[in-house]
Amino acid sequence: MSSWSSEHIFEHPWEDVVRAAFRKYPNPCNPAVKGVDVVDRRVCPKGTIQSHRLLSTEFPLPDVAARIIGTPDRNFISEHSTLNPTHKLFKLESRNLTLGHLVTVHEHLEYYPHPEDRSKTCLRQKSTVRVNVPFLSGYLEKLLIENFEKNAQKGRNGMEWVMNQIKEEDTSSRVKPESSDILTQLEMKFKKEAEDFKQSMGSFLKNTQTNPSPL
């Protein structure tokens, strides 16, 4: 097993970074991510937001490793996150679902306010890789770790791009969200998405009953 870790400081408040993290994909800096589906999302009694998302991406293996192992067109990743607005901590854990019997990739990220400057946000990131290919495990793990290092900057650039988009939206709508109210903002957003889905399903069922299928 091999691992890689890094730390980064965003020149933005924690609340803005968290908003961007929820909307990170799609972005032009990470074109490998093709889709994001929310499997489950809930506000827990203790005031945290628990989310489970499924990401569809191009397979992250370098060309050399891909030729050795053989990879599908799509890679599916399971991501679980916990947002704690009281302690200002946002954690994400992800692992690959595709080719899990050959390659296991776990990623852990934490976003928290800079301890000395609350206008900045710290990102702590760690990835572990285990390759189950006889005689080639060490070599392939090294290639994957090098790939993580290259892609880490793409992820940070993607976050910056999303934060700029959010700032433009806030400016155009002349609405500046209160930093201390991020939980309420996200909860309202999720409830609106659920209500829109409920209305769409209601309209669909109504049309189905009005115009039954000839089959």
CB 170 within 8 A of CB 45: no
- pLDDT beyond 50 at 105: yes
- pLDDT beyond 80 at 163: yes
String of DSSP letters for 112-162 = EE-SS-TTSEEEEEEEEEEE--TTTHHHHHHHHHHHHHHHHHHHHHHHHHH
Q: What is the pLDDT of residue 193?
A: 57
Of 26, 54, 27, which Cα lies nearest the Cα of 40?
54
Q: What is the pLDDT of residue 215?
A: 42
Peptide bond into 26 cis (omega under 30): yes
Say how far apart CA 68 and CA 186 lie, in whole Å: 43
Q: What is the pLDDT of residue 149?
A: 83
Q: What is the pLDDT of residue 204?
A: 47
Amino acid making up residue 149? E
Q: What is the pLDDT of residue 48?
A: 93
Say how far apart CA 205 and CA 182 lie, in whole Å: 35
Q: What is the pLDDT of residue 9?
A: 97
Give the rounded percent of residues in the chain with a pLDDT score beyond 70.
Answer: 75
CB atoms within 10 A of CB 129: 23
- Tens of pLDDT, residue by residue over 49-58, are 999 999 998 7
Read off the pTM. Answer: 0.77
Give the rounded percent of residues in the chain with a pLDDT score beyond 90.
Answer: 47
pLDDT band at 158 (very low <50, low <70, confident <90, very high): very high
Min mean pLDDT across 33-47, 62-76, 86-100 is at: 62-76
- Tens of pLDDT, residue by residue over 10-48, are 999 999 999 999 999 989 998 888 889 999 999 998 889
pLDDT band at 171 (very low <50, low <70, confident <90, very high): confident
